[in-house]
Amino acid sequence: MIDPVFFDTDCLCSFLWVGKEGILPLLYPGRITIPHPVYTELSNPRIPHLKNRLDSLLSENLASIQGIDINSEEFQTYFQLTEAPAAGHAIIGNGEASAIALAKSSHGIVASNNLSDITAYIEKFNLKNITTGDILTDALEKELIDEAQGNIIWTQMLSKRRRLGASSFTEYLKKHIAADIT
């Protein structure tokens, strides 16, 4: 079975802000899932262009929205993460929490850049996590972009105040390769 990918707001917005959301369905066809709380966050009237880009993916069936039923295991996890965390754990945002809750119940992948908030939960629930850097690395490996294009996209994302963990895509790749070697 191919794991669904549950995007939080920040990771998805990295691509929406720079008009590169088309990379996502090429890498993860039929697997892109937007938790309803993320869709709600992107429905902010101050950023209609982001919602319009996401709505295009949805209307073309390249992504889907998934809600969280109040009587479900997902809701219990979501509530715990957003309102009543276990001792030693922090409250996290709705987008991250919904992605984690849905990935936990579906054995999916969490797409999030917010590692400081989610890492403890990713480890606790034994989930897979990918970041914007990982996604661009996948695009490079599948020859959807080259390194120069990755650097341009990265710079555009940084200009939109995305926190990506490196000053360039090339730097990210070097860190990633160094981490894989150790």
Domain that holds residue 156: 133-181
Instruction: Give the span between the Cα atoms of 58 and 52, in whole angstroms.
Output: 10
Residue 107 sits in a domain whose CATH number is 3.40.50.1010
> End-to-end alpha-carbon separation of the chain, Å?
30
Boundary (domain end) residue, out of 110, 132, 154: 132
Per-residue confidence (pLDDT) for residue 179, from 0 to 100? 63
List strand residue ranges (DSSP E) for the chain, in order: 5-7, 32-35, 64-66, 109-111, 128-130
Per-residue confidence (pLDDT) for residue 86, from 0 to 100? 85
Whether the full predicted model's pTM is greater than 0.85, yes or no, is yes
Q: Contact, 135 vs 7, CB < 8 A?
A: no
**pLDDT, tens digit only, all 182 positions of the chain:** 589 999 999 999 999 999 999 999 999 999 999 999 999 999 998 999 999 999 999 999 999 999 999 999 999 999 999 999 888 888 999 999 999 999 999 999 999 999 988 999 999 999 999 999 999 999 999 999 999 999 999 999 999 988 898 999 999 999 887 666 54
**Nearest CA-CA partner of 38 in 91, 80, 100:** 100
Residue 76 sits in the same domain as residue 160: no
Residue 115 sits in the same domain as residue 147: no
Residue 90 sits in the same domain as residue 28: yes
| Domain count of the fold of the chain | 2
Residue 167 sits in the same domain as residue 79: no
Residue 107 sits in the same domain as residue 157: no
Instruction: Give the span between the Cα atoms of 113 and 142, in whole angstroms.
Output: 21
Residue 95 sits in the same domain as residue 175: no
